[in-house]
Amino acid sequence: MPDPTLTDMAARVGAPAADRRPGDGYDRGGMASVGALSLYAAMLRGELEGDEALQASQHIFELVLNSVHHAIWWKDANSRFLGCNRKLAEYAGVGHPSELVGKTDADCAWGNAELPRSGAPWFQDHDRMVMETGEPLIGLREQVRIADGRVIWVETNKVPLTDFDGKVVGTLGTFTDITSRIEAEAELQSTLEDLDERVRERTSELSRANQTLRREVEERVRLEAQERAQRSHAEALRDTAAAVARSLQLDDVIEQVLIGVERLCDHERSYVAFYDNEGVLELAGERYPGRPDRGAPEPHTRITDPLGGWSPPGETTEDGSSGAAAGGRAAMSKVNGAVVLPLEAAERALGCLVIEPRPGQDLSDSDVDRLAILADQASSAISNSRSLVMARSLAALEERQSLANDLHDSVSQTLWTATLLAETLARASDLSAEQRDRADRLHALTAGALSEMRTLLLELRPSVIEETPFADLVHQLVSAFESRRRAKCEVHLDREVEPLPTVKVALYRILQESLNNVSRHADAEGVHISVEVTGDVLEMRVRDDGAGFEMGSASEHFGLRIMAERADAIGASIHVDSCLGEGTTVSVSVPEVMELLVRPPEQSP
């Protein structure tokens, strides 16, 4: 039934009566009642006095109490509810706050102690603690089961409830549903724990890698210490031998060996030669005592059978004797008066040290003995130097291989997927002309980026260049070029033309440098590339319609010298023709190409 007093007061101030229960601050639509607002206005104007003003204040209080999103209650000293707001009534599953009056937590859905930090005893213990200590309890997190069966997390606050004399007569409490916050915190904590685990795993991996590296370094240091100990008696023989043992740079070792030879004996010329991959001696360094005008030899200068009947250790000479000495020391030979001392390590021939006496003179036996000791020292030093170079090369190769694998497995796959998606988008039938143009451009950019990545992978794994068909290499360079520049490339290439690896690599590098020059300097709109075999000559031509240049001013620029060296290495000729404003043409001709092709064009199926 409606409260008659409040109804009369609302009618008296001109507000419509509301069908409500006592303490109800909402109408049927859930909005604050007009009558309540009218009462508040009447209070401000002084139209209500005495009991009417008190009832109006109580009504406004209940309106405010039921407007907040927190559950609010107050209990007596025995933890019985004296009152609450509508939010707590909803959680308890009762129709009106007055229905909880006189009840305890045990009479509510959350009274059962089935959950940790929950149940009537739990809540009542905290009520007693607040009343006994007189201290508020703030921010207590608890789990409660509400009337609809859900279990929620709440943040509870309890303070002592006192009378007018300050005596604690009960508790006043609130709680707020923080389930979403708890779930978010749990998710964040899970994420942090996962991140911590990954950091720990990565740290463990790095620790293991550091330990492995430390062991390798210690092992290498140990081996080097053994080698130094084994050479110590020989290093004491000559200062030169000690200098040779200290150096790890191959050029420095060769120079110190030749200086040592000069200090040990008088001679006309001395040189060091090493075996190449084909078993032919190549001159590595030479020295003419007293003649500083004689410079260093040209790189890779081959020596055609200068040693007569001497053969490397382990091989057999024409007379059936072995090239290695029976006594264990490397065999010494004299060829046309020159002393030839083999350089070997671990029974593997590295090369030789040759000392040519002055005309009319001969080297004494003591000279030869000292030179033999020096040759032994040189062999050890050269072996160490080569091992270091090989170790550095292998480390660099492994690093490049690892980087190439990572790029192939991650970035390259992503670019491939992006290219497929862009191509699919470009083929969509419902695109406008502008959208199609953008989709085509996107496809061109992703395809070009993929080609750039493949080119980069080739650079990281040079051996792959030799294994990839030449036509694929050309089209890969073209695709990468077109992605960088808005220039179009026209390619005329017989796919059956497949040069041998050395020729293919040289042509690939020359084409790569030519396209780089066009991209950086030519500002061209079109490039024409052709590779064809005419008669016994393979000709590759790269022509652009760019700015061109004056031939005399570019003789040492644009990588032309490097391209010329690459062409010369395979016995080819290169010609560059350019003029300002008329573009540039680079032509490479490889003669007698039929012997340099994997399969000549006329034999193609």
User: What are 252-300's pLDDT values in tens digits?
Assistant: 888 888 888 887 788 888 888 888 766 777 888 888 887 766 656 665 5
The H or E element spanning position 383 is: helix 365-407
HEC assignment per residue over 465-525: HHHCCHHHHHHHHHHHHHHHCCCEEEEEECCCCCECHHHHHHHHHHHHHHHHHHHHHHCCC
> Does pLDDT of 422 surpass 60?
yes
* 267 and 150 co-located in one domain: no
* 11 and 153 co-located in one domain: yes
Taking only the tens place, the pLDDT of each residue in 35-55 is 555 555 655 556 656 677 677
234 near 260, Cβ under 8 Å?
Answer: no
Residue ending a domain, choose from 336, 361, 383: 383
As a whole number of Å, the CA-based R_g of the chain is: 47
Q: What is the pLDDT of residue 550?
A: 75
- Considering the chain, what is the average pLDDT of its residues? 75
* 581 and 520 co-located in one domain: yes
Sheet containing 348-356, strands listed edge to edge, beginning at the edge strand earlier in sequence: 301-302, 281-287, 269-275, 348-356, 338-345, 333-335
Question: Long-range contacts made by residues 334-337, C-beta under 8 angstroms, separation at least 24?
Answer: 335/306, 335/307, 335/308, 335/309, 335/310, 336/308, 337/362
Global pTM value: 0.36
CB atoms within 10 A of CB 172: 18
Cα 535 from Cα 532, distance rounded (Å): 10
354 DSSP 8-state letter: E
Mean local confidence (pLDDT), 375-392:
77
* 353 and 497 co-located in one domain: no
505 near 466, Cβ under 8 Å?
Answer: yes
Q: Considering the domain boundaries, does residue 93 fall inside one?
A: yes
Of these ranges, 44-53, 397-406, 424-433, 584-593, the one predicted with the greatest mean pLDDT is: 584-593
Q: What is the pLDDT of residue 303?
A: 67
> Does pLDDT of 410 surpass 70?
no
* 278 and 163 co-located in one domain: no
Q: What is the pLDDT of residue 28?
A: 38
CB atoms within 10 A of CB 456: 16
- Angle separating helix axes 239-246 and 250-264, nearest 10 degrees: 170
472 near 445, Cβ under 8 Å?
Answer: no
| SS3 state of residue 387 | helix
Taking only the tens place, the pLDDT of each residue in 322-363 is 443 333 344 677 777 788 888 887 777 888 888 888 888 888
105 near 142, Cβ under 8 Å?
Answer: no
Domains in the chain: how many in total? 3
Q: Considering the domain boundaries, does residue 297 fall inside one?
A: yes
Torsional class of 534: left (φ above 0), alpha (ψ -120 to 50), beta (otherwise): beta
Cα 287 from Cα 259, distance rounded (Å): 8
How sure is the predictor about 381, in pLDDT bands with cuts at 50, 70 and 90? confident
* 162 and 252 co-located in one domain: no
Considering only 107-111, 228-232, 287-291, 576-580, which range has the smallest mean pLDDT? 228-232
Q: What is the pLDDT of residue 535?
A: 81
Mean local confidence (pLDDT), 312-322:
44
Cα angle, residue 391 at apex, residues 387 and 395 outer, rounded to 5° = 170
Cα angle, residue 169 at apex, residues 168 and 174 outer, rounded to 5° = 90
* 125 and 240 co-located in one domain: no
Torsional sign, CA 57, 58, 63, 67: positive
- Structural domain of 87: 4-182
Using alpha carbons, list the distances in angstroms from residue 44 to 23, 40, 51, 226, 338: 20, 6, 15, 103, 127
* 30 and 176 co-located in one domain: yes
Characterize the bridge pairing of strands 488-493 and 526-534. Answer: parallel
- CATH number for the domain spanning 105: value is 3.30.450.20
Residue among 306, 353, 354, 347 nearest 325 (CA): 347
Cα 209 from Cα 307, distance rounded (Å): 49
Q: What is the pLDDT of residue 432?
A: 75
Residue ending a domain, choose from 182, 212, 241: 182
* 163 and 46 co-located in one domain: yes
Q: What is the pLDDT of residue 404?
A: 57
Cα 457 from Cα 466, distance rounded (Å): 13
Pick 597 or 179 by higher pLDDT: 179
CB atoms within 10 A of CB 416: 16
Q: Considering the domain boundaries, does residue 470 fall inside one?
A: no
Q: Considering the domain boundaries, does residue 26 fall inside one?
A: yes
> Does pLDDT of 605 surpass 60?
no
| SS3 state of residue 377 | helix
Q: What is the pLDDT of residue 319?
A: 46
Q: What is the pLDDT of residue 473?
A: 82
Taking only the tens place, the pLDDT of each residue in 60-76 is 777 878 888 899 999 99
307 near 342, Cβ under 8 Å?
Answer: no
Of these ranges, 63-72, 435-444, 463-472, the one predicted with the greatest mean pLDDT is: 63-72
Tokens 């009218």 sit at which residue? 38
> Does pLDDT of 1 surpass 60?
no
Q: Considering the domain boundaries, does residue 516 fall inside one?
A: yes
Residues 6+ apart with CB under 8 A from 439: 422, 425, 426, 428, 431
Residue among 380, 397, 395 nearest 217 (CA): 395
* 8 and 153 co-located in one domain: yes
Q: What is the pLDDT of residue 492?
A: 87
> Does pLDDT of 423 surpass 60?
yes
Q: What percent of the chain has pLDDT over 70?
A: 67
52 near 3, Cβ under 8 Å?
Answer: no
* 16 and 158 co-located in one domain: yes
Q: Considering the domain boundaries, does residue 170 fall inside one?
A: yes
HEC assignment per residue over 4-58: HHHHHHHHHCCCCCCCCCCCCCECCCCCECHHHHHHHHHHHHCCCCCHHHHHHHH
* 261 and 335 co-located in one domain: yes
> Does pLDDT of 31 surpass 60?
no
Considering only 22-26, 237-241, 330-334, 527-531, which range has the smallest mean pLDDT? 22-26
287 near 270, Cβ under 8 Å?
Answer: yes
Pick 558 or 196 by higher pLDDT: 196
Taking only the tens place, the pLDDT of each residue in 131-188 is 999 999 999 988 889 988 899 999 999 999 998 888 999 999 999 999 999 899 999 9
Q: Considering the domain boundaries, does residue 340 fall inside one?
A: yes
Both structure tokens of 50:
């005495």
Taking only the tens place, the pLDDT of each residue in 481-515 is 777 666 788 888 877 778 888 888 888 888 888 88
114 DSSP 8-state letter: T
- CATH number for the domain spanning 557: value is 3.30.565.10
Q: Considering the domain boundaries, does residue 199 fall inside one?
A: no
Q: What is the pLDDT of residue 241?
A: 60
Torsional sign, CA 491, 497, 498, 502: negative
